[in-house]
Amino acid sequence: MHDETDETIIRIAAALRPLPEVDAAQKARVLVAVAADRERARERRIRVARGWRIAGAGTFVAAAGLAAAVWLRAPERAAQVATIAPAAASPTVSAAPSLAVDARLATYKSVQVVLRAPAARRVSVVGDFNSWDTDADAMSRDPATGLWSRTLALRPGRHVYAFVVDDSVWMRDPRSPAAEDKDFGRPGSVLLVGQP
């Protein structure tokens, strides 16, 4: 039999070949799970090294509904608005039971960072969670809306962050509380991520 050249088999294979649309929130669950894995390993190492315990984040304000908007002052750019809101489908809540990392997932929150910057060529979010690395969390642009977005897996608690536009403009979010502890002497904003 020459199934490789059989017309029916070729047609069947062709009908099965189109790739499904990928839901970014579903895909992000992998990275959330992996980040949780890494963080757990890191905590274990720290505890062993320093006899430390990671404090619970019960004192922090819950982030439900947290949204901040800011008009940025970049003179030559279209007005830009940054909003931060918990991602619609929190992977920490609906994690599938067979995912063995469920318990660890519960310690992370999925937070979507959005910046409206239609004229920008490249935007990244930097913060304590990625060591202020401008290459770590590049945001993706939706050409239809000019919105840049990025889903982050963050531990509950207080995070300081900023946006870097076109590798040249560093901006914080003035409507979020300004961070007093300026990392690298640059302005940052505070993001509170609630307990699950």
Partner 1 sequence: MSKPHPLQLIKPAAPADRPESGSAAERSLLVAAARRGDVRAFAELVDAYYARCLRFAMHMLANRSDAEEAVQDTFVRVYRALPGYEERESFEPWLFRILANRCRSAGARERRRSEFVEFGEVPERASERRHDDAIAWREEITRALAALPPEQREAFLMRHVEDLTYDDMAIATGAGISALKMRVKRACDALRLRLTEDFGARRD
Residues that bind partner 1 (CB under 8 A): 1, 3, 6, 8-9, 11-13, 15-20, 22-24, 26-31, 33-35, 37-38, 96, 98-101, 122, 135-138, 140, 142-144, 149-151
Could you give the C-alpha distances from 134 to 26, 158, 170, in angstroms and in order?
25, 20, 10
Q: Is 29 or 159 the residue whose CB approaches partner 1 more closely?
A: 29
For partner 1, the closer CB: 128 or 174: 128
- Report phi then psi at 99, rounded to 5: -70, 115
Q: How many other CB atoms are there within 10 angstroms of residue 111's CB atom? A: 23
Q: For residues 27 and 182, which CB has a smaller minimum distance to partner 1 in the complex?
A: 27
Number of C-beta neighbours around residue 105 at 10 A: 25
Residue number with CB closer to partner 1 (82 or 179): 82
Question: 39-43: long-range contacts at Cβ-Cβ below 8 A with a sequence spacing of 24 or more?
Answer: 39/104, 39/107, 39/108, 39/155, 40/104
Q: How far is the CB of 24 from partner 1 (least distance, A)?
A: 5
